[in-house]
Amino acid sequence: MDDKQLIARRVALELKPGDLVNLGIGLPTLVAAMVPRDAGIFFQSENGIVGMQAVAEQGLETADLTDAGGNPISALPGAATFDSAMSFGLIRGGHLDVTVLGGLQVDREGRLANWMVPGSLVPGMGGAMDLVTGARRVIVAMTHTAKGRPKIVEACTLPLTSARAVDLIVTELAVIEPTADGLLLREIAPGVTIDRVRRETGAALIMPERVPTMRGLEAEVR
């Protein structure tokens, strides 16, 4: 299992039957494949659907049914489509249980930066600011470092996506929960030492007496 799949598998365990979930583009989209189809989890895409299936059934692709990246999807039985105001009403109005987003940086207070790198990458925030501000629970799914540099930092140098702290950070090394006292190390990936997590994290971590192996991945040998 590669790093991204491991992250996606761990994130999938956070989703509960009945949850309405929005997955960001990139790594977070892998989470859908880790959730059984009968798990009772509904996926939203912000371009206007609840009940999407990430990949279109072969031969059933239609130009009018896509995800937020413009890729063909399928609508599961029971799906609903709507306009952009309702789609963001679901997001901002507290109807969205979980959003899973990628990250460029997360600071020690759990605040996320994921929408621009001034001077080099200005894609725009798309729906990210509304998602982080409005979802009941925000999970960041990202690699622990980028080009060897920590993405979990004392203070974000990149523009924030929202002033609201995220609820959970899942990387290929660890599960970290931002709390009022700071970043709490909750779980570590199989085969990863606490020293390594410390070394590759740019902010202080709160260490419980015992840090268990990542839930659902205890048997994994890496």
Show which residues are catalytic: 46
CB of 77 vs other proteins, minimal distance in Å: 15
CB of 197 vs other proteins, minimal distance in Å: 28
Nearer to other proteins by Cβ, of 29 and 87: the residue is: 87
Nearer to other proteins by Cβ, of 150 and 159: the residue is: 159
Q: Which residue has the tokens 């029971």?
A: 78
Task: Count CA atoms closer than 13 A to 185's CA, side-chain side.
Answer: 25
Closest CA to 82 of 90, 92, 74: 90
Q: Which residues pair with 145 in a beta bridge?
A: 150
CB of 19 vs other proteins, minimal distance in Å: 20
CB of 90 vs other proteins, minimal distance in Å: 10
Nearer to other proteins by Cβ, of 85 and 219: the residue is: 85
- Residues forming contacts to other proteins in the complex (CB under 8 A) are 45-49, 62-66, 68-70, 75, 81-85, 87-88, 91-92, 121-130, 133-134, 159-163
**Residues across the chain:** 222
- Helix H or strand E encompassing 199: helix 194-199
Q: How far apart are CA 157 and CA 113, in angstroms?
A: 9
Measured CA to CA in angstroms, residue 7 lies from 3, 16, 143, 163, 221 at distances of 6, 17, 8, 25, 15
Nearer to other proteins by Cβ, of 7 and 68: the residue is: 68
Measured CA to CA in angstroms, residue 187 lies from 30, 55, 158, 173, 216 at distances of 21, 31, 27, 9, 11
